[in-house]
Structure 1
Amino acid sequence: MKIVVIGGSGRIGSQVVNKLTQLGHEAIAASPSSGVDTLTGEGLDQVLQGADITVDVANAPSFEDSAVMNFFKTSTANVLKAALKASVKKHVALSIVGVERMPDNGYFRAKVAQETLIRNSGIPFTIVHATQFMEFIGGIADASMINGECHLSTFPFQPIAAADVASLLTDIILEPAKNGVVEIGGPEKVAMSELIGKYLQLVGDKRPIVAGPDEIYWGEKIDSHTLVTSEGARLGTIDFKTWFSQQPVKA
C-alpha cells in the first residue's frame, strides 16, 4: 500500500515511515523538508496521488493559542480536502489522551478542533489518543516551575515511550478504520510527582518539588482519570526504568 505520513520527518513520523517500509509498504514522509506544506496546500495533491492511507502526526510550530488553533484547523482541512480528491481509503491521526477533558488549554482545544474536522470529513478514520511521551518529562518539569519549585500533581500519570507510540501506531494504521478513538499508553500508572521526581533525581536536577492534588498541569486542574488510559487501551512495553536506561545522557 502507499501510505503518506504527514509530519513524516519528525520524532514519531520518521519511525513510522521506517516501520511501514520494513513491512513492504510504500511509506512516504510528507513535510516541508520534502516539499509538502499543509498550511498552504503546496505539494499535497502530488504526494497523495494514488495513496491508500494518510497518517497525520504533524505538530504545530508554535503553541500560542491562536497560532496552534490556526495550524491544526488549516493543516487538517487541507490534508482532508486533498485526501478526498485522491480517494484515500483511510485517515489516521495522532492525538492525546484526555484532550476532551482539558478545555482551558489552547493546544488541547486545537486538537479537539482537528478531531472534529476528521470526524466530519467523510473519510473512514481512526484517531489515536496517546498519553504524554516520556521524552517530554523534562519539559513538563520546566513548565511546572513556580518561584523556583516544580509544582506537580499527585494524580496518576502514564507516559509512553516514543518508540512504543510508533510501534502501536504502525499496527493501528494497518488495521481497518475504527471510525472512532483507540487509546494507547505506557505500561505504568504512577503519580506524576513521583515519576518526574525520580527523573530529576536521576539526571542530578536538585529543583525542589511541591506535590499535591491541586497542582495544575499545563494550566489545568486534573483528576485521577485525566491523563491515563481507560479500559481496553493498548499499552506499550517500555517502562520508565528501561526508557531512561536507553537515553544518551544520564546522571
Structure 2
Amino acid sequence: MTAEIHTRRTLAAQLRQLGLGADDAVMVHAALRSAGRILGGPDALIDALHDVIGRDGTILVYTDWSDDYHDLLDDDGNVPAALRGDIPPFDPASSRARRANGAIAELVRTRPGARRSANPGASCAAIGGRAEWFTADHALDYGYGEQSPFARLVQARGKVLMLGAPLDTMSLLHHAEHLARIPGKRVVHAEVPILVDGQTVWRRFEEFDTSDPVVDGLPEAYFATVVEEFLATSRGVRGTVGDAASVLVPAAGMADFAVRWLEDRCGESPSKQP
C-alpha cells in the first residue's frame, strides 16, 4: 500500500480549505515530518503557501538564533571573559535559525528575497509582499513587545498557522505575555555579540523571560491550554495540511484572548489595587 503523496497543488487546496487566503500575512510553525511525503519536499509547501496568499501576502517564521553559548552565562547574564573572543556575533543575514524552531524557520530565512529582523532572540524572517515592513526596526530590548514583527502581525490582522507543530510553541503568545498587565513578570538580562558595520559589538539585552512561563504559578506548557480554550470559542479552525493536524487562528484575536487569559488568572485582584 502506497502512502498518499502530497503536492504543491494539493497542499494549496488544503490551505485554502483551512482558511488561508489571498493577501494574508501568516506566521508559520511547522513540524515538517508530520506533513507526510511531499513531492518536491518542504520547498513545495512554502511554494503552496505563496500560491494561496499571492504576491502581496507574506509568510513569517520565528527564527531566534543558534546562540549555543547561552547556557554559559552567569546569573547576571554575563559571558565568561575567556570565551568572549570565540563567540560568533549575531548577523541577521547569516546567523542560523534555532534548530528547535524547526526546519521551516531556516528554509524561509534562506529563501531568495527573505528579510530578517535585527533582534537576535526574538528575530523573525519573512518573505513576500510586506517582508520588509514586518521585519524593520525590531526593538533590541523587549523584542516581543510593541515594536516587533509579532505586534505588526496583529496590526496587519494576520494569521498564525500551526502545521503539525505543538500548540505550546505558538510564539505569538510571548507577545501576549509582554502586553499582559500582571505583576511579577520575570526579567532577564544577557550579553549578546552583534555584528555592527562588520565589527563585533557586545550589547546587554533586557527581556521578559521566554524560556519559562513569564510569572510563577503557570504550567510550563500553558500556551497549549490558552490556544485550546481559544479554539473552543470557534474563532480558529482545525484541519489537515498534508498529513499534519493543523490549526489556523487570527493573530489579533489570539493575542487579545491570551492577554485577557493571563490578566484574569495572574492580574492583581480588585482588593489589591490602589
TM-score by length of 1: 0.34
Higher relative contact order (CA 8 A, sep 6+): 2
TM-score by length of 2: 0.32
